[in-house]
Structure 1
Amino acid sequence: MSQTRSRTEAYSLQGPQTVYPILFAISFSHMLNDVIQSVIPSVYPLLKENYTLTFAQIGVITLVFQLTASLLQPFVGLYTDKHPTPRSLPLGMLFSLTGLLFLAFAKDYIHILLSVSLIGMGSSVFHPEASRVAHLASGGRKGLAQSIFQVGGNAGSAGGPLLAALIVVPFGQKYIGWFGVVAFMGMILLTFVGKWYQQNLSRRSSRPAAVAGGPVVSRRRITVSIGILLVLIFSKYFYMASMSSYFTFYLIDKFHVSVQQSQIYLFAFLAAVAAGTILGGPAGDRYGRKLVIWVSILGAAPFTLLLPHTGLYMTVFLAVIIGLIISSAFSAILVYATDLIPGKVGTVAGLFFGFAFGMGGIGSAVLGWLADRTSIEYVFSICAYLPLLGIITGFLPNVEGTKKRRA
């Protein structure tokens, strides 16, 4: 124990250096958190059959989950900017653990909605403070730190459907409860991360306060830029909603694959998202975040437009390419926003994570409603145009100045 304490104190004294053990720990925690979250859409085919749900009801499940997370996150971030709360990290996992157990033994549709709202609350508590930990441990390499943090979440989102296909689909809904082990692991790890976080805050509070620097951009330009970033988040997460919630149904309906096969193909897409995430942050540090945002969203458009018109294997191949390209956007957007509004990491993280969750939830509900009235194939043909909104990236100001090139 004393050896662990001395090691933790050493990390907290490193100052401007990048604290990789903490970054990897918070990234792994993000992976565990998002494994839990990804269980929800992964078991949609099972829930649809067990409770005779419509696509619209499936969309409402996602809407309740995402809105629970999105509405709370900005307020959590605003509060923690003024009152950092290291103990909230394991508390968020406790909410998720409770929601998982409720979902495993849900008796009806209302209980399902209650279960996913608890998981959403856990996510809303986790993300703002976890983003602050990544920022504190970045050593100034904010893009890299945010990518390491995000790749954990995307790896969890990719692994969740695969685990659900292996554990839940063959044996039934009650086996969702086994994912409680993941939540318990997260609580233990986040307790140790919280101790480092608390020590780091204590060290910083004992030093003279530094004057926060930032770009010379007018308040009006900042407001317009934040609006543009939110539109880009909308385009990305509406498209991601079509993939995460309905890609399995699309493959089953169009190509007549099995549920397990469809989840494996969904895993391929989400694994590509996880792989692509790690590229966005370092590329933003080196070449500029505006360029990365531009390439990540608009660059996916040719592939999204082609996807609805191909066969099974080409569809999966294009989904992987889309995942690799589009996944780097969020890290770059989040760090770009913190550059616009320095000193407000929790508020910015809460706003953007919350908006992303909200757009994912609204997108899933709207697309489910549209699928009931048209078809899943029509939904994918419409969503293909969303990445074209990436063209508005050109209106963002260059806030980074001369790009720092690292050897």
Structure 2
Amino acid sequence: MRKNASITLLSVGHACVDVYQGAVASLVPFFVAERAYDYAAVSGVVLAASLLSSVVQPLFGALTDRWPMPWLLPAGMLLGGLGVALSGVSGSYALTLAFVALSGVGVAAYHPESARVARLVAGGSGHRAMGWFSLGGNLGFATAPLLVTTVVAGGGLALTPLLVLPALVGSVLCVPVLRALERRQPPGPGAAVTTGGDDKASFVKLSLAVVCRSIVFIGLGTFISLYAKERMAGSTAAGTAALLVLYLGGAVGSVLGGALADRWDRVTVCRWSCLVTVGSVAGVVFVPGPALYLFVAATSIGLYVPFSLQVTLGQDYLPSRVGTAGGITLGLAVSIGGLVSPLIGCVADATSLRTALAPLVLMPALGWLLFRTLPEPVPPSRSGTVTPVPGGDSAVAASPTRPDHR
């Protein structure tokens, strides 16, 4: 199977599994309308989807560093779909939390191994290929509001079992890619995309920057539909449109990030995207009227330009443990933003939603400060070791050639 075909199928599969990350936030207005959940209660639902994913995803990454587990791709999809499908079948709040937590575990199982497989299929670096792979996930997020509204609006939460269909489709599509990769790759440890020295300090700083991004994205993803509804005179359609814009902007940002990284280094692109996001988040919170949608789109693009770049940066900072790197940059650091959602909900219940969202402006500014301290790593070759140094250059030891990262 050709590389482009494999990346396309992986991207579609990524869309199918990330539907379930977007679906949880998309179900929030229906939980409010049908079950009278308050802000704190819906924040708990998002937390349940994020908490286990935050803890478990690095564990799955560590396992895939020792043993290849390509079966986690279809299995994770099916588990993620099953949890969301069951979340609406019972009026019990405890069962709802349990089902969305189950979905979170499935999503956690999928991502570290899928990032390893995508990097192998892309040929090691492949910023554009990884950008297209990330695009699939963003399209999944973007499709979630439309899918959930189409399924649930007519018949209520009792129709959520129909939401398992994307998982069934995605699990089938990834099988030919895994078979082709199995024929290409000899049996052995699952981590070996590259080898070289680990830069743990840079990886920690990168992870903190990803946490800052996550807090903004999950905070807005949880409350933007309710916030837009408040700003647009109580229109449910206005809230759904805002959530859709948030996710579609992410699709644009993912592809744009890969293209920009081919011209400038990844750290520079991430740093400038943080600056853009500071202004756009402020616009979302403080600028009145329909301009809200423009600022939501700009915020989403700014948050997603660095998304795939952060994944490959993490893999290059920890080249001996790319599964763990993927589990943290795609899992722990991303999902941990969900831990802040209940705090936002509590502040919103006590004051107003605008007041609760205002501190999100600070998060991309902190991300910018962290990226200012990071070096640009050269992906290490199999014959040598690359050590990132401040300023974006890298020293190569015991290697006859220096790979070009531009």
TM (norm. structure 1) is 0.88
Confirm or deny: 8 A CA contact 2:203 2:318 kept in the other structure.
Answer: no
**Structure 1 match to 2:231:** 254
**Structure 2 match to 1:399:** 377
Which deviations, in whole Å up to 9, do the C-alpha atoms of 1:169-216 show, x marking residues without a partner? 2321122221111111112112223222322333x759xx9995547x
Which deviations, in whole Å up to 9, do the C-alpha atoms of 1:68-98 show, x marking residues without a partner? 1121111111111111012221111221232
Confirm or deny: 8 A CA contact 1:69 1:357 kept in the other structure.
Answer: no
In structure 2, the CA distance between the partners of 1:357 and 1:339, relative to structure 1 (3 Å rule), is: closer
**1:97 correspondence with 2:97:** no
Confirm or deny: 8 A CA contact 1:86 1:198 kept in the other structure.
Answer: no
Confirm or deny: 8 A CA contact 2:57 2:111 kept in the other structure.
Answer: yes
Confirm or deny: 8 A CA contact 2:192 2:322 kept in the other structure.
Answer: no
**1:291 correspondence with 2:275:** no
Work out which of the residue numbers 94, 98, 102 in structure 2 matches 1:110.
94
Secondary structure at 2:124 match in 1: coil
Which structure has more RCO (C-alpha within 8 Å, separation ≥ 6)? 1
**Structure 2 match to 1:164:** 148
Give the letter for the 1:380 counterpart.
Answer: L
Q: How far off is 1:24 after superposition?
A: 0.9
In structure 2, the CA distance between the partners of 1:200 and 1:313, relative to structure 1 (3 Å rule), is: same
- Where structure 2 has 5 or more consecutive residues not aligned to the other structure, the ranges are 379-392, 395-402
**1:33 correspondence with 2:11:** no
Confirm or deny: 8 A CA contact 2:193 2:319 kept in the other structure.
Answer: no
Which deviations, in whole Å up to 9, do the C-alpha atoms of 1:236-263 show, x marking residues without a partner? 1111122100001111123324223311
Range with bigger deviation, 393-402 or 240-249: 393-402
Query: Equivalents in 2 of 1:285, 1:86: separation in Å?
Result: 29
Q: How far off is 1:51 after superposition?
A: 2.1
**Structure 2 match to 1:244:** 221
Q: How far off is 1:129 after superposition?
A: 1.0
Give the letter for the 2:370 counterpart.
Answer: I
Work out which of the residue numbers 303, 308, 329 in structure 2 matches 1:326.
303
Superposition CA RMSD, Å: 2.2
Which deviations, in whole Å up to 9, do the C-alpha atoms of 1:360-386 show, x marking residues without a partner? 211222211221122101122221222
Secondary structure at 2:340 match in 1: helix
Confirm or deny: 8 A CA contact 1:142 1:285 kept in the other structure.
Answer: no
**Structure 2 match to 1:65:** 49
Which deviations, in whole Å up to 9, do the C-alpha atoms of 1:336-381 show, x marking residues without a partner? 1211121322110011122234322112222112211221011222
Secondary structure at 1:148 match in 2: helix
**Structure 2 match to 1:54:** 38
- Where structure 1 has 5 or more consecutive residues not aligned to the other structure, the ranges are 1-7, 12-18
Secondary structure at 1:107 match in 2: coil
Confirm or deny: 8 A CA contact 1:298 1:391 kept in the other structure.
Answer: no
**Structure 2 match to 1:147:** 131
Query: Equivalents in 2 of 1:94, 1:323: separation in Å?
Result: 28
Query: Equivalents in 2 of 1:132, 1:405: separation in Å?
Result: 19
Percent identity between the two aligned chains: 26
Q: How far off is 1:104 after superposition?
A: 3.0
Secondary structure at 1:300 match in 2: helix
Work out which of the residue numbers 328, 345, 349 in structure 2 matches 1:351.
328
Query: Equivalents in 1 of 2:33, 2:283: separation in Å?
Result: 31
In structure 2, the CA distance between the partners of 1:212 and 1:38, relative to structure 1 (3 Å rule), is: closer
